[in-house]
A = this chain, B = another copy of it.
Amino acid sequence: MGIKYTILGLLQYKDMHGYRIKEHIERNFGHMWSINYGQIYPNLKKLEEEGLITMKEVVQNDEKGPPRKLYSITQKGREEFVRWLESSPEKSMILRDPFLMRFVFFGFGDPDRALELIDEQISVYQEQLGRRQANLQRWKHGSIFVNLIAELGTDMNQMILDWLEKARKELVHHFCTDEAGIKKTVKMNEK
């Protein structure tokens, strides 16, 4: 349901073909969304059938490069887009993270391995934070909304990193001061 309107939104900036749309989404939202051709091409076909976009075939003589299909948003498409844009979002946020799913149950596994997995996550998010901060700079010129979304990306990233560090510290402390004195094998290599 969402991709449909994302495509419509992008076509308001400029006419595009499927391949470009994917490229654009990946470049700009790649760290938050993923998209693939299995979603794009069927959605473009559907949007055209609904009269929200129109298609123009570009052949080799027109411009260089292989033939492609250029899509433009129609007036009807613009109207439908604004209707959606100004409607209240029906659903709430969903967050799904295979690491967090495991985390809840880490009590059933080896504490050392848990720390290793936390460290893996920390380096993943550190890398990502760097990329997001770079993007933030790249978009300084852009719309206020795009900028704010980019800021949300870094804010969120920072929050997760803070939480991971906090979790790491608490776990090390928890297993080292264990009254039972059983689980003292935990690695002490704190930074």
Contacts and interface: CB of A to CB of B under 8 A. Distances in A.
Label chain A's interface by main secondary structure.
Answer: helix
A104 B25 CA distance: 12
B89 A108 contact: no
A185 interface: no
Interface in A47-74: none
A12 interface: yes
Interface in A76-120: 81-82, 84-86, 88-110, 113, 117, 120
Given A2-B98, A95-B94, A97-B94, A82 B104 contact: no
Interface in A1-46: 2, 5-6, 9, 12, 32-34
Contact of A90 (B98, B103, B170): B98
A79 to B, nearest CB: 11
Nearest to A162: B155
Nearest to A171: B144
A99 B87 CA distance: 10
Nearest to A87: B102
Contacts of A107: 143-145
B145 A105 contact: yes
23 contacts: A2-B98, A5-B105, A6-B101, A9-B105, A12-B105, A12-B108, A32-B95, A81-B108, A82-B109, A85-B102, A85-B105, A85-B108, A89-B97, A92-B124, A93-B100, A100-B152, A103-B149, A104-B145, A144-B174, A148-B166, A151-B163, A152-B160, A155-B163
Q: In the A-B complex, list the 9 residue pairs whose CB atoms are closest, starting with the nearest.
A: A89-B98, A93-B97, A9-B105, A85-B109, A89-B99, A86-B113, A159-B159, A106-B145, A107-B143
